[in-house]
Amino acid sequence: MISDAQERLPRLPRLIEQATATFTKRFAHPPKWVAIGPGRVNLIGEHVDYNDGFVLPMAIDRHIVIAAAPASARCALSATESLPQVPSHISRLASDGQEQLVEIDTTSAMKRSDPAWANYVRGVIAGFQDRGITVPTFDAMVVSDLPMGGGLSSSAAIEMATASLLEIMTGHFMSLAEKALLCQRAEHEFARVPCGIMDQFASAMGRRDHLLLLDCRSQQISHVPLQDDSIAVLIVNSNVRHELSDGGYAQRRSQCEQAAAMLGVSSLRDATMADLAAAESQMEPVNYRRARHVISEIQRTTEAAAAVEAAQWDDVGKAMYESHASLRDDFEVSCAELDLLVELARGISEGQASDVLRDSVIGCRMTGGGFGGCVVSLVKKHLASKVAAEISKRYELKTGIAATAFITRPADGAKAWLL
């Protein structure tokens, strides 16, 4: 139960307090370090990361927080009936979102094991060990206000928080890019998810009031200010996930590769709309449409970044709606629920709900891999909660499913500190 005083605290400080209190309760000694990893949302640039394109994500004000202490801080008194003493080479890991207390022998090489959620942590420990860094034994408590599996990258957030924790714990610090790549590898090898670099880069390099324009080929980033105080980012989770997703992703990747081969380029990043038009008659129609999405989306993303910087909101909104249409029609990774959410946002902004909400939504699109998950919108800040309520109400009326909506802002990247 959160008291009134806590309710007034901003979200992250409250979560950090919760992490330290839960740690102490769970392990019967206080934490020494705290690490945070933000989730992320992608404003535009979808399904282009594996085509060497540009993406425009931001870290969000929703986090994984880990409170931790060295095993040496354990004392005999901390042994209780529910938490017996463990050998000094065994690390203990708990999460408020998971039942099981996990024991990890951090003095030996990491292996994938049960429970699956701890593999994100094991994978990051493995990355440190691969660099010859000794990881000491610790106790750690994970708390989070990020939905798990909701497309906001709680996986990258837990990896980046873990990597930041291990940096401060071991005294070995790395560049943000190296840390993000270490975490991407953890996700590939320990969670067996073949993700691109966007999630970890956004969680590592997020900056308050900035978007991140990431070139997935060169791995160069530039921060794009999103400082207009009248604009807010609204995320609405459809709370559906259609099972097609795994096979659908692999199939899209291979169709993009086939299209690139047909166009004689190593990736679709190097093809233009003119190249595509010239090759249309020789291409499988489905591969042609996949390529049309990717090539146009890369262009929309760089244009949208420039439009955000110039505060040309009509152009940003147009790019977001076009991105959604392209993902729906050409890339075929949307679903009825995501399409409905986008149409509700557009309709509300056209005045279908009330005149007060006319022009309240700048743009809206599905975000993430698709087949369910979230839509992201840019909205007028003073109307944001009314828009969220109206979209949720109409969505539930049409589908019978309760959506989850929240307003967020670009946040700083992962970090850790001594308490």
Active site residues: 199
- Compute the least distance from the CB of residue 198 to Mg ion, in Å: 10
Among 149, 225, 264, 351, binds ligand ADP (CB under 6 A): 149
Which amino acid makes up residue 96? Answer: D
Q: Of the candidates 181, 162, 178, which has an alpha carbon nearest to the alpha carbon of residue 415?
A: 162
Q: From CA 392, how far away is CA 262, in angstroms rounded?
A: 44
Among 66, 158, 231, 379, binds ligand ADP (CB under 6 A): 158
Among 42, 51, 106, 144, binds ligand ADP (CB under 6 A): 144
Would you say 198 or 291 has its CB closer to ligand ADP? 198
Q: Could you tell me the end-to-end alpha-carbon distance of the chain, in angstroms, rounded to an integer?
A: 24
- Compute the least distance from the CB of residue 148 to ligand ADP, in Å: 4
> What tokens does 174 get?
């790395």
> Which part of the chain contacts ligand ADP (CB under 6 A), choosing from 4-12, 95-103, 164-172, 203-211?
95-103
12 near ligand ADP, rule: CB under 6 A: no
Among 91, 155, 162, 323, binds Mg ion (CB under 5 A): 155
Q: Which does 387 bind (CB under 5 to 8 A by kind): ligand ADP, Mg ion, none?
A: none
Decide the pairing of beta strands 361-367 and 221-225: unpaired
- CA–CA distance from 272 to each of 4, 260, 269, 292, 298 (Å)? 56, 11, 8, 9, 10
Would you say 238 or 360 has its CB closer to ligand ADP? 238
Which amino acid makes up residue 372? Answer: G
Residues in the chain, how many?
A: 419
- Compute the least distance from the CB of residue 26 to ligand ADP, in Å: 14
406 near ligand ADP, rule: CB under 6 A: no
98 near ligand ADP, rule: CB under 6 A: yes
Q: Of the candidates 362, 302, 301, which has an alpha carbon nearest to the alpha carbon of residue 327?
A: 301
Residue 56: CB atoms within 10 A of its CB come to: 25
Phi, psi for residue 410 in degrees, rounded to 5: -65, 130
**Residues within window 63-82 making contact with ligand ADP, judged by CB under 6 A:** 64
> Which part of the chain contacts ligand ADP (CB under 6 A), choosing from 105-113, 141-149, 266-274, 394-402?
141-149
Q: Of the candidates 122, 381, 369, which has an alpha carbon nearest to the alpha carbon of residue 245?
A: 369
* Cα dihedral value 305, 309, 310, 312, nearest 10: 50
377 near Mg ion, rule: CB under 5 A: no
Q: Which does 142 bind (CB under 5 to 8 A by kind): ligand ADP, Mg ion, none?
A: ligand ADP
Q: From CA 240, how far away is CA 368, in angstroms rounded?
A: 13
- Compute the least distance from the CB of residue 48 to Mg ion, in Å: 17
- Site for Mg ion, rule CB under 5 A: 153, 155
- Site for ligand ADP, rule CB under 6 A: 64, 95, 97-98, 116-117, 120, 142, 144, 148-155, 158, 193
